[in-house]
Structure 1
Amino acid sequence: MRFNRSAVMAGALAAVALGATTALAAPASAAPNTTPQKVCGSAYKTVNSAPIGSLGTVFLTYNASNGKNCVTTIRKNPGTAVDMSAWVYIPDTGLGDDDYGPYTSYAGPTYVYGKGHCVDWGGQIANVYTQVSGSNCAAFKEQRVTFTR
């Protein structure tokens, strides 16, 4: 799968804002005490995270044995399905993955090969979005943005 960064960002926000994918996605089952490792796999270690307002957290994980990153968005209080998303993108390869839909507990997992590359990633719960750009790039400073629509 090849992605253009601006197309991924525009498409992701448009799809979520319009709710275009909500009717097509099956809700995840409630998992009140889930973890990124339960969603992504036990070999994935959390390397970064960002709050999505007070609603939950988006996690960036990494599996050193296969070089893949995984992103999942986990609600603080699972309940009635709401629009959620998780996405990951590698700018210099153009590869990415995303998951959008009405979920009760978490969105994702989303996977992409990212060994030795900077990572852009983020998630959304209801109308609150968090995006992290230029993450896990050694000495480079990442950019974090959280906004409400």
Structure 2
Amino acid sequence: MRYARSVFCTATAAALVAGSTAFLATPASAAPNTTPQKVCGSSYKTVNSAAVGSLGTVYLTYNSANGRNCVATIRNTPGTALAMSAWIRLTGTTTTISDSGNYTSYAGPVYIYGKARCVDWGGSIKNVSVTVTKSNCGALKEHRVTTVR
């Protein structure tokens, strides 16, 4: 009896370890319920966001300690990899920092130093893209465009 219980406990422990290992081996991009802070970093606070249709949201975050903005596009429902992007640039400049590809949960993070500067930013999921210009710069009114291709 003692031997049977020992074998049962060992088998149960092995199954738990195997299950835990499989769970922990899931790629970060497939993690459901991610947040802009998990993508950009815990010191980044969400300062703006734009819906990407019903597919997800593009988030603009800011870290006041280092003056950097971060953009991440996050799907509402992770799943099969889809074409996604996240991008940012300083308003009035031509250098765009971007990340695009086929992702299961989010695109980005992309960072730019933007202390006391307006930023243009956006992202896309599948065939829906969002562009926000002249954003987060005080008196100027931002402009938003959502496009479905």
TM tier relative to shorter chain: 0.7 to 0.9
If asked which structure has higher relative contact order (CA below 8 Å, sep 6+), I would say: 1
Aligned match of 2:81: 81
- Cα contact 2:86–2:110 (8 A) shared by 1: yes
Question: How big is the shift at 1:31?
Answer: 1.6
Q: CA RMSD for the aligned pairs? A: 1.4
SS in 1 for 2:46: strand
Which deviates the most, 51-60 or 92-101? 92-101
* Structure of higher CA gyration radius: 2
For structure 1, list consecutive stretches of 5 or more residues without a partner in the other structure: 1-26
Alignment TM-score, normalising by the size of structure 2: 0.79
| Structure with greater helix share of residues | 2
The AA in structure 2 aligned to 1:66 is: N
SS in 1 for 2:37: helix
Mapped to 2, the partners of 1:44 and 1:87 lie a distance apart of: 16
- Cα contact 2:91–2:133 (8 A) shared by 1: no
The AA in structure 2 aligned to 1:129 is: S
- Cα contact 1:72–1:107 (8 A) shared by 2: yes
Write out the 4+ residue segments of structure 1 that deviate beyond 2 Å after TM superposition.
Answer: 91-96
SS in 1 for 2:38: helix
SS in 1 for 2:144: strand
Mapped to 2, the partners of 1:135 and 1:48 lie a distance apart of: 9
Mapped to 1, the partners of 2:28 and 2:123 lie a distance apart of: 15
For structure 2, list consecutive stretches of 5 or more residues without a partner in the other structure: 1-26
- Cα contact 1:69–1:114 (8 A) shared by 2: yes
Question: How big is the shift at 1:94?
Answer: 4.5
Mapped to 2, the partners of 1:30 and 1:128 lie a distance apart of: 21
Question: How big is the shift at 1:95?
Answer: 4.2
Matches within 5 A, 1:5-84: 29-84=29-84
Aligned match of 1:96: 96
Question: How big is the shift at 1:50?
Answer: 0.3
Mapped to 2, the partners of 1:53 and 1:77 lie a distance apart of: 13
- Cα contact 1:96–1:111 (8 A) shared by 2: no
Mapped to 2, the partners of 1:28 and 1:128 lie a distance apart of: 24
Question: How big is the shift at 1:137?
Answer: 1.2
1:11-47: CA deviation from partner (whole Å, max 9, x where unpaired): xxxxxxxxxxxxxxxx963121100000000010000
Mapped to 2, the partners of 1:137 and 1:91 lie a distance apart of: 10
Mapped to 2, the partners of 1:119 and 1:93 lie a distance apart of: 9
